[in-house]
């Protein structure tokens, strides 16, 4: 009962990794928004497996089909359903994992919760579910675009290789200029090398995606429980493999004094209210203050590795699991469009909530 | 429209810092739970101002009154309302802040959002709202207790002073043995010293609260969007001054290889399924796996400082703000019961959701 | 977990009939709405016991106190809490009903559901809960007033005495001109006579409240499940003692042919789109069409009668219940402000939802 | 933003009448429920056009496809998606209705609300949407079956022809013994005659569906706003063409005295608590009391008639609309499975809510 996200711009996703299809229903997208299916497909292509040498070589086209809600190129105010068929879902042999509880996967927890699981791969716990999020997020981004809001995510850390520059010193138009999606070429090269090294040693590696949201007017976000950063945090933490979220000064900020950390207000020459620093990350009291919003999302190393591992089966017996198949050595490059999508969904929802909120 | 938290065990809080009262309605607490008002009051006392030399010397009794939902010592299945009156709410002079946008407070963002704000202190954005959370959390903890689940939070970092031991090496019964609520005496002393130093320099300092949840059965948490850690993250990020959340291996985990990070399953001598390591933080695929759940919450330094600061007023003019009053140099000690409360509320909700989930 | 109503303009009520207080939290009321407490009190006075010879002679002042959310005469966008204390809640003797399952009351069903109940009167199932709704509805009506929307309810039937005129032939300003709240004086007199007769025979009688909502712009209501009339229906059916709801042509309309029942559109001289008849009751496809909305709400006779009745106690044993106390012989006159309140709450919510719904 | 129904057993429907498909996502169905697709298809077949001489002769197979959530014949706890493709959705000419506001349809209100509409038939406002409800309802009925709960609806009135027997005097296994779905053969014949007469005069006729729910344990339903009958009412009123809802004594009950209407409790020979009469319709205080639940749902005559009608187009100009195509002269026979479905969905949701509700 938790496959729905959002209060007004609301998505419900469905589909298992090796079932017939994955998809999404968007309920609440305002009517009259122009939709270009190519833009949605473009977002899916950024998430697609097999897109580069450092992602899984698995080939899936991930072509989106719209079943409802869009007519003559515009949203109708009715639920928009988008479906992506899974490929070859019946052709594989799952006998090696059917009874195994793979380490740091959700095989055991799904079984404990539901008394059953779809053992053909990750089932519902697979990151394939994020196809649906990316499709929906592309639509949310269209709505944001109308309001001058942009969302840009990039890889800022892989393993111990950390991009040292703040986003303000980067050209965020260069995110897609390399396959790891780090807008700093030199750092990107080192990251790619590290991912290749992990891959070649049949291992995996984690990292961080950073996200910058620009053009948000002051006033979005809802106190007390639905603070803008609390919803962003939930949305990010709901993405597979995410272990942490911080915004603005984040975990580093705890070391600071109030006198350093406080963002002083001033009025700029155009008469806009601004802050001299932005440790607040564009959010104060859970509400946007008109400055850039920025945050970091930590991803653990992929759990599927091609080395043998000790674990147990569903009778509790010890087994050695032999990994096989084609998997990502590092999710970070493909996580970028997912972070983009979830951020766009959060913002679109708050935009609508704020519109509601007038006498 | 966001003063409600939880889906089944649901709380709605109300009240401004300098209005008549703050309070909470709990809707959904199961009937028949024995309630001891002293336990609720005890939780409030741990949060109370003026409790030690390193909190604000402001004196507030924060006595809780129950208006409904409890009869003859038991919950009735009906909404439980608890109210704490504010003290002396009319006696102060707010002229120094009435028109100021205080740095890193929510004065500006509330005004931008609502076109108005209660200028008598923080109003609704004040951490005084957390009184209501703590009262409700104490009730949630009673429900968890029935199921053998305990929540224990403590201060693990103040400024740069970081407790180096993992929770497994601490005695969590010692949390309240000192005023900073760090269960390691030596570290606690250093933390207290740092807070005093910040206070004496009319400044403030941030820190980290760590939380450990024990006794959670495998199976709590709801994929896909309401993952257990995603809800914990949202709940924690909704607390005033929080800037980040991480669970299990967290931000450090991104540096690891999959082969290191994966938690191998084994069956212990009692026949229980366990993992040899717990980088997963007790949660896999958003569902508890029966191991301990642990996470960290980052708090920024308190924004109210007693030094003069540059900012603007509500006409956009530069002003110098002269802090006054009695404030906390560090929220961490008083944040501990708030983290406890929010964790208990999240778990109680998932417990009820899991109970619903059967054929 | 169902003491909350509304999606954006959202109320949560609390309180038992013989507990300390009843009250309401309104979460989502837009900021900046001017609030006059006297208007809220006036609505409560229309619902108050003891207001006339045909209501219960029980005297309760029902004075409302605001604990939060209103500052300097305006809503702040924060939760508005309103509380009405119960009178003398400890002074009565409940021994005659403590163990009884009163016929057609909720004593048995609450006990079956919760394993417990507050036996001091109806507890949470008492219509005293509607105090909270009326207070909240008065605020919703203020919001509607800003948009030119009015809600007017009246008693159209008591027992078999049915007002034969449609609302279009009535002067809706005359609703409060008599104690039964029927705007047709002759019919009102007959109704009053019937209620007095029921009262004098220690019995009770049912009836119908009709409601007319005028000034609603075309476009309010949300397909598919939250149709405007579906929400109105739920809201009305949630009022104590309600047994039925119909709008527009209602149950009589089933006898008609489509060719009679269809409301033809035309454009009036001012260029407004109108319909020549209004069997649709101002709603088509769940969305308002700009014509008057009207509906009927059926109330059963009050279950508390002052005659002895056969029933059982909570051990299943037969008992004879001897009614006592002061009760309403007919709820209809006091139900009018409750219907007004619920209709206003439904409309205010849809108004906000419609505001959200734009690109 | 209102295409979702239910709190725990939650459905979201999508699809326009002349788009690619209609369908439903069920989120929250417990894991482990055995599913037989033929049972779902059977429910759809009862709703299917072209099933008899008194429904539209339009032929649609309405074959259901499951895209997710069911694996090896059982629900998985994950979202269940079911899709029914629309037939020939591109082959028609809609020029006669593209710009018309058909009387008592939702063409005008959708346009007023959204600024656009899918003019190929009713679009989202078409009763074709109920395909999705019926599919979901069949699954809910499987869950109810496990708990011994049955839902049985039948046609009790067509135009002025009203079945005079209460449900207790009917054989509810005979509902499908005739094409109008009235379990009394003689009345059914008269109803069929009336529908044929309406059809032959190019007109339509309304009616009433009655529903009986048996086997519900005491304790389902949630006070205060989500009373069992309030949710049933909303669910029924959300069905296309419904104008009214009443349960138990309903609108007739308003004429009774309390002394007549009160249902006296007694303990039967098996020790079960029962009531001697059942004017309460099995619900007291919004909670089931273990007696049969019964209610009536009023349907207006179908708005599409094959006679010329006066109306306006979307520029406000007068036009004469010439009906064409194949339509139902009376929705009642096909409405029966829809009422069944919605009742099952309401009960399944409350069953899960009650399961959650324990210490």
Q: What is the pLDDT of residues A120-170, one digit of tens each?
A: 889 999 999 999 999 999 999 999 999 999 999 999 999 999 999 999 999
Q: Which of B69, B219, B359 to mutate to test the interface with D (most CBs of D within 10 A)?
A: B359
pLDDT at D334 over 90: yes
pLDDT at C46 over 90: yes
DSSP annotation of A129: G
Interval D313-342 mean pLDDT:
93
Which domains are seen in chain B, by residue range?
A: 4-356 (3.60.150.10)
What confidence tens digit (pLDDT) does each residue in C74-111 have? Answer: 999 999 999 999 986 555 678 878 999 999 999 999 99
pLDDT at C28 over 60: yes
What confidence tens digit (pLDDT) does each residue in D115-131 have? Answer: 999 998 899 999 999 99
Interval A245-258 mean pLDDT:
98
Residue A271 marked ligand-binding: no
What is the sign, positive or negative, of the torsion defined by CA atoms of C59, C63, C64, C65? negative
Asked if B118 lies within 8 A of C76 by C-beta distance, the reply is yes
DSSP annotation of B345: H
The better pLDDT of the pair C53, A218 is held by: A218
Question: Is some CB atom of chain A closer than 8 A to the CB atom of B259?
Answer: yes
Asked if D245 lies within 8 A of C243 by C-beta distance, the reply is no
**What pLDDT does B89 receive?**
57
C-alpha distance from B40 to closest chain A C-alpha (Å): 21
The better pLDDT of the pair B90, C288 is held by: C288
Percent of chain B with pLDDT over 70: 98
As separate numbers, helices (DSSP H) first and strands (DSSP E) second, chain B gives 7, 19
Is ipTM strictly over 0.95? yes
Of D134, D148, D147, D143, give the one whose Cα is nearest residue D34: D143
Interval A256-275 mean pLDDT:
97
Asked if C298 lies within 8 A of D124 by C-beta distance, the reply is no
Under 8 Å between Cβ of A80 and A25: yes
Q: Which residues pair with C21 in a beta bridge?
A: C85
pLDDT at C283 over 70: yes
Rounded to a whole number of angstroms, the distance between the first and last alpha carbons of chain B is 34
What's the CA gap between B90 and B235, in Å, rounded? Answer: 32
Choose among B259, B312, B317: nearest Cβ to A203: B259
Q: Which residues pair with D150 in a beta bridge?
A: D214
CB neighbours of residue C90 within 10 Å: 8
Mean pLDDT of chain A: 95
Under 8 Å between Cβ of D159 and D207: yes
A197 contact partners, CB below 8 Å, separation of at least 6: none
Torsions phi, psi for A351 (to 5 deg): -60, -45
Question: Is some CB atom of chain C closer than 8 A to the CB atom of A76?
Answer: no
Q: Is C114 helix (H, G, I), strand (E, B) or coil?
A: helix
Interval D227-232 mean pLDDT:
98
Write the secondary structure of chain D as one string of H (helix), E (strand) and C (coil): CECEECCCCEEEEECCCCCCEEEEEEECCCCCCECCHHHHHHHHHHHCCCCCCCCCCCCCCCCEEEEECEECCEECCCCEEEEEECCCCCCCCCCCCCCEECCCCCHHHHHHHHCCCCCCCCHHHCHHHHHHHHHHHHHHHHHHHHCCCEEEEEEEEECCEECCCCHHHCCHHHHHHCCCCCCCHHHHHHHHHHHHHHHHCCCCECEEEEEEEECCCCCCCCCECCCHHHHHHHHHHCCCCEEEEEECCHHHHHHCEHHHHCCCEEECCCCCEEECCCCCCCEECCEECCCCEEEEEEECCCCCCCCEEEEEECCCCEEEEECCCCCCCCCHHHHHHHHHHHHHHHHHHHHHHHHHCCC
Q: Dihedral (C-alpha) A177, A183, A184, A186: value to the nearest 10 degrees?
A: -40
Asked if B355 lies within 8 A of D353 by C-beta distance, the reply is no
Write the secondary structure of C201-232 as one string of H (helix), E (strand) and C (coil): CCCCECEEEEEEEECCCCCCCECECECHHHHH
pLDDT at A202 over 90: yes
Under 8 Å between Cβ of A147 and A43: no
Of D237, D16, D24, give the one whose Cα is nearest residue D110: D16
Task: Read off the pLDDT band of A93 (50, 70, 90).
Answer: confident
What is the sign, positive or negative, of the torsion defined by CA atoms of D196, D199, D205, D209? positive
**What pLDDT does B58 receive?**
80
Asked if A108 lies within 8 A of B273 by C-beta distance, the reply is yes
C-alpha distance from D236 to closest chain C C-alpha (Å): 8
Q: Is C71 helix (H, G, I), strand (E, B) or coil?
A: strand
Question: Is some CB atom of chain B closer than 8 A to the CB atom of A130?
Answer: no
Q: Which ranges of C55-101 does DSSP label H, i.e. alpha helix?
A: none
What's the CA gap between D169 and D287, in Å, rounded? Answer: 25
D247 contact partners, CB below 8 Å, separation of at least 6: C243, C244, D229, D232, D233, D281, D283, D293, D294, D295, D296
Residues of chain B in contact with residue C16, where contact means CB-CB under 8 angstroms, are: 68-69, 71, 76, 78
Percent of chain B with pLDDT over 90: 90
Tell how far CA B15 is from the center of its chain. 17
**What pLDDT does A87 receive?**
84
Give binding residues of D for NADP(+) as ranges.
Answer: 47
What's the CA gap between C69 and C328, in Å, rounded? Answer: 34
Under 8 Å between Cβ of D237 and C233: yes
Tell how far CA A256 is from the center of its chain. 30
Task: Read off the pLDDT band of C219 (50, 70, 90).
Answer: very high
Task: Read off the pLDDT band of D97 (50, 70, 90).
Answer: confident
The residue of chain B nearest to residue A268, with distances taken between CA atoms, is: B316
pLDDT at C323 over 80: no
pLDDT at D90 over 60: no
B251 contact partners, CB below 8 Å, separation of at least 6: A208, A243, A244, A246, A251, A296, A298
C-alpha distance from B165 to closest chain A C-alpha (Å): 18
One DSSP character per residue, B94-109 reads: -TTTSSEE-TTSSHHH
Q: Is C139 helix (H, G, I), strand (E, B) or coil?
A: helix
**What pLDDT does D278 receive?**
98
Give CA angle at B30 (B29, B33), nearest 5°: 100
The residue of chain A nearest to residue C147, with distances taken between CA atoms, is: A359
What confidence tens digit (pLDDT) does each residue in B138-188 have? Answer: 999 999 999 999 999 999 999 999 999 999 999 999 999 999 999 999 999
When mean pLDDT is compared across A247-251, B48-52, C188-192, D208-212, the lowest value belongs to B48-52
What's the CA gap between D183 and D165, in Å, rounded? Answer: 10
Asked if D2 lies within 8 A of C289 by C-beta distance, the reply is no
**What pLDDT does B88 receive?**
63
Rg (CA), chain B: 21
Asked if D10 lies within 8 A of A4 by C-beta distance, the reply is yes
Task: Read off the pLDDT band of A89 (50, 70, 90).
Answer: low
C-alpha distance from B256 to closest chain C C-alpha (Å): 43
**What pLDDT does B51 receive?**
92
pLDDT at A88 over 90: no
What confidence tens digit (pLDDT) does each residue in A176-187 have? Answer: 999 999 999 999
The better pLDDT of the pair A358, B82 is held by: B82
Question: Is some CB atom of chain B closer than 8 A to the CB atom of C83?
Answer: yes
Within the 142-161 window of chain D, which residues sit less than 8 Å (CB to CB) from chain B? 143, 146
Under 8 Å between Cβ of B299 and B242: yes
Task: Read off the pLDDT band of C1 (50, 70, 90).
Answer: low
Residue B160 marked ligand-binding: no
Choose among B13, B15, B78: nearest Cβ to C16: B78
Exposed/middle/buried for residue D202 (C-beta within 10 Å: 0-12, 13-18, 19+): middle
When mean pLDDT is compared across C322-326, D106-110, D140-144, D188-192, the lowest value belongs to C322-326
What's the CA gap between C347 and B231, in Å, rounded? Answer: 32
Exposed/middle/buried for residue A259 (C-beta within 10 Å: 0-12, 13-18, 19+): middle
Of D1, C113, C27, C2, give the one whose Cα is nearest residue B7: C2
Q: Is C187 helix (H, G, I), strand (E, B) or coil?
A: helix
Residues of chain D in contact with residue B286, where contact means CB-CB under 8 angstroms, are: none
Residue A125 marked ligand-binding: yes
Mean pLDDT of chain B: 95
As separate numbers, helices (DSSP H) first and strands (DSSP E) second, chain C gives 7, 19
C29 contact partners, CB below 8 Å, separation of at least 6: C9, C69, C75, C77, C80, C139, C140, C143
Interval B232-246 mean pLDDT:
98
C252 contact partners, CB below 8 Å, separation of at least 6: none
**What pLDDT does D322 receive?**
82
Task: Read off the pLDDT band of D335 (50, 70, 90).
Answer: very high
What confidence tens digit (pLDDT) does each residue in D134-181 have? Answer: 999 999 999 999 999 999 999 999 999 999 999 999 999 999 999 999
Partners of chain A (3+ Cβ pairs below 8 A) = B, C, D
**What pLDDT does B108 receive?**
97
**What pLDDT does C91 receive?**
58
The residue of chain A nearest to residue B311, with distances taken between CA atoms, is: A265
The better pLDDT of the pair B89, D351 is held by: D351
The residue of chain B nearest to residue C3, with distances taken between CA atoms, is: B27
């Amino acid at each position: 009962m938790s496959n729905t996200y959002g209060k007004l711009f609301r998505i419900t996703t469905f589909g298992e990794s090796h079932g017939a299809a994955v998809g999404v229903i968007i309920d609440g997208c305002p009517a009259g928004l122009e939709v270009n299916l190519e833009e949605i497909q473009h977002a899916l292509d950024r998430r697609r497996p097999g897109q580069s040498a450092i992602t899984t070589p698995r080939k899936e086209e991930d072509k989106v089909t719209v079943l409802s809600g869009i007519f003559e190129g515009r949203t109708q105010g009715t639920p928009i359903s988008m479906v992506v068929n899974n490929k070859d879902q019946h052709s594989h042999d799952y006998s090696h994992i059917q009874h195994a509880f793979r380490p740091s996967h959700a095989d055991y927890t799904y079984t404990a919760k539901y008394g059953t699981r779809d053992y053909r791969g990750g089932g519902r716990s697979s990151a394939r579910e994020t196809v649906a999020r990316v499709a929906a997020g592309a639509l949310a981004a269209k709505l944001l675009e109308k309001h001058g809001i942009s969302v840009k995510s990039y890889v800022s850390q892989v393993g111990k290789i950390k991009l040292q520059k703040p986003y303000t010193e980067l050209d965020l138009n260069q995110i897609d200029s390399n396959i790891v999606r780090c807008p700093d070429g030199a750092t990107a090269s080192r990251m790619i090398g590290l991912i290749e090294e992990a891959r070649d040693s049949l291992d995996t590696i984690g990292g961080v995606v950073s996200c910058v949201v620009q053009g948000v007017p002051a006033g979005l976000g809802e106190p007390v429980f639905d603070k803008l950063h609390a919803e962003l945090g939930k949305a990010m933490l709901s993405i597979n493999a995410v272990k942490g979220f911080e915004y603005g000064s984040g975990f580093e900020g705890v070391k600071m004094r109030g006198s350093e950390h406080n963002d002083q207000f001033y009025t700029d020459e155009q008469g806009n209210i601004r802050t001299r620093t932005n440790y607040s990350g564009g959010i104060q009291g859970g509400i946007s203050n008109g400055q850039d919003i920025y945050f970091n999302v930590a991803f653990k190393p992929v759990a599927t590795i091609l080395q043998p591992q000790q674990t147990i089966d569903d009778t509790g017996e010890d087994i050695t699991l032999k990994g096989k198949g084609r998997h990502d050595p590092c999710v970070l490059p493909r996580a970028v469009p997912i972070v983009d999508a979830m951020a766009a969904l959060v913002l679109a929802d708050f935009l609508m909530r704020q519109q509601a909120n007038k006498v």
